[in-house]
Amino acid sequence: MKNCSMKTGQSRKSEIMSLLSSFAPFAKSILMLVPFSLLITPLKAGAQFANGADVSWLHQMEDYGYVFKDNYGVRRDCLDILKEKGINALRFRVWVNPPGGYCNKRDVAYMAHRADSMGFKVMIDFHCSDTWADPSHQTKPVAWQNDSLPKLLTDLYNHVYNVLDTLKSIGVVPAWVQIGNETNDGMLWPDGRASTHMANFAKMIDTGYAAAKAVDSSIQVIVHLSNGHDDAMYRWIFDGLKSYGARWDIIGMSVYPYWANLPWAEDDSLAQITMKDMIARYNKKVMVVEAGYFYYDPINANQYLLDLIAKTKEAGGLGVFYWEPECYNWQGYQLGAWDPKTEEPTVALDAFLGKSATPVKQPKSIKGYGFYIYPNPFNPNTTIEYDLPTPSVLSIVIYNVMGERVAQLVSGYQNEGKHNVVWTPGHLASGVYFCRFTSENFLSTRKIILLK
């Protein structure tokens, strides 16, 4: 594996100007006012608890004309608003060669510099793909598709090194770096699929670790899994990585009651059990690198976050990151923390200031509700059957694994009694989908699998 050569001071400054001026007309003029020595002097990460937010969509949203207001209705920079809400760290995903350019190296360099210049700590999340990587998708970048394992490891090393070296050249040394995103079954499939090639997956994690440390030894390397409530899955992955000699500094987890299909209090408690077990079992630090709740239920979102932050601190965790709180009316995403009507942050984010909104009880099942899907798995269609004990306003929505709404099956008032609706996906691809049933007194999500 090769190290990318370090640049001279003059060539670094030229690259800074090129990177920043391509994104923000004002960035270049601001940069000229700052002594260059400050731009190449990395700040060391302190012990402060990370009140974090992943805002990887922000630049694209701004380009599409989205505006952000504070709670006084004043239009401002979204990052300023987040800082006032107690956010002190920002996370950015990086893809290898994404269509459209957002979340590529140049975009991430612009956003990371913007965040760093405002005093935020920075986390970089390497998906190691041209698009989303998650428990159901770990697709190789197109440029790496036909590479053998040794070449894949070189590709991975050079990608991580090059991105981080570029950031360092503009004065940004990330506090944390993820190698892979939600790697419940490894990464860069099929070569790095943990269930079939754990040794290969371990080599990939260790390769990314080596590349990050080669750029700056202060960078803390994270291995990230979803489903923080599933301690057994965490043990399986990290026992495997340890047995094959992989190195990492922090165990990262996602804690989403929505995806876990659990009440938030239960999901938080199970995640805390996992945190404590990971610290004791592997003598490693832990961090919640993704969390989120419904934007339209801000009171419960606030209570959920307060509880998760408290439980993470009690377990000895390093921080909690909210995933894309700035989202509103954006690609169907439902777990942001911004009000689409006012364009202002909801009280959910007050949790990072330690402020509690008025608590309310979570929706509970009322005896007589029913929610069934059959067949499952299915092709070409499936039936959603449900019972209403009382007349209700309800919604039945289908989401893909990225949280994007792909079908609205029911929306509105219905009488009590038995009902059913048939879903025919048509052109949608095979895979995992989620059917969400919401009414005033009942909330449930079912996983469904389309096989073609």
Residue at 86: amino acid letter: G
Q: Provide the token pair at 428.
A: 């949608």
Q: Report the C-alpha gap between 94 and 107 in whole angstroms.
A: 9
Given a cut of 60, is residue 5 above it in pLDDT? no
Percent of the chain with pLDDT over 90: 73
**CB-CB neighbours of 76 under 10 Å:** 13
Q: Is residue 181 within 8 Å of 134, Cβ to Cβ?
A: yes
DSSP assignment string, 59-116: HHHHHTT---B-TTS-B--HHHHHHHTT--EEEEEE-SS-TTSTTSHHHHHHHHHHHH
The span from the CA of 180 to the CA of 208, in Å, is 9
Task: Give the pLDDT of residue 216.
Answer: 98
Name every residue whose Cβ is closer than 8 Å to that of residue 432 and which is 6 or more positions away in sequence: 136, 401, 447, 448, 449
Q: Do 384 and 398 form a contact (C-beta atoms < 8 A)?
A: no
CA distances to 146, 164, 321, 381, 410 from 88, rounded to whole Å, are 41, 21, 10, 47, 40
What would the mean pLDDT of 62-85 be, rounded to a whole number? 96
Q: What is the mean pLDDT of residues 51-55?
A: 98
List pLDDT tens digits, range 230-284: 999 999 999 999 999 999 999 999 999 999 989 999 999 999 999 999 999 999 9
Specify the length of the chain in residues: 452
Mean pLDDT of all residues in 309-336: 96
Please give the average per-residue pLDDT across 374-386, as a whole number: 90
3-state secondary structure of 238: helix
Tokens of 158: 């050079």
| Cα separations in angstroms, 391 against 91, 368, 388, 415, 419 | 44, 12, 7, 4, 12
In the 8-state DSSP scheme, what is residue 407? E
What proportion of the chain, given as a percentage, has pLDDT over 70?
87
Alpha helices per DSSP H over 134-255: 149-169, 194-215, 231-243
38: closest CA among 122, 119, 108, 110?
119
What was the pLDDT predicted at 360? 46
How many Cα atoms sit within 13 Å of 293 on the Cβ side? Answer: 26
Select from 184, 185, 95, 186 the least CA-distant residue to 132: 95
Q: Which residue has the higher pLDDT, 366 or 125?
A: 125
In the block, residue with structure tokens 């999500």 = 445
More confident residue, 392 or 92: 92
Residue 316: per-residue pLDDT: 97
100: left (phi over 0), alpha (psi -120 to 50) or beta: left
Q: Which residue has the higher pLDDT, 362 or 286?
A: 286
Around Cβ 147, how many Cβ atoms within 10 Å? 17
Q: What local confidence, expressed as pLDDT, does residue 22 receive?
A: 53
User: Distance between CA atoms of 143 and 111, rounded to whole angstroms?
Assistant: 25
Neighbour count for residue 328 (Cβ, 10 Å): 21
Is the pLDDT at 226 greater than 90, yes or no?
A: yes
Residue pLDDT, tens place only, 88-131: 999 999 999 999 899 999 999 999 999 999 999 999 999 999 99
Is residue 60 within 8 Å of 102, Cβ to Cβ?
Answer: yes
DSSP 351: G
Is the CA virtual torsion 345, 348, 353, 357 positive or negative?
Answer: positive
Give the tens place of pLDDT for each residue, 420-450.
Answer: 999 999 999 999 999 988 886 778 888 898 9
Sheet holding 417-423, edge to edge: 370-374, 382-388, 417-423
User: What strands, in cross-sheet order, belong to the sheet with 405-414?
Assistant: 405-414, 392-400, 431-438, 443-450
> Is the pLDDT assigned to residue 56 strictly greater than 90?
yes
Q: Which residue has the tokens 């399986």?
A: 236
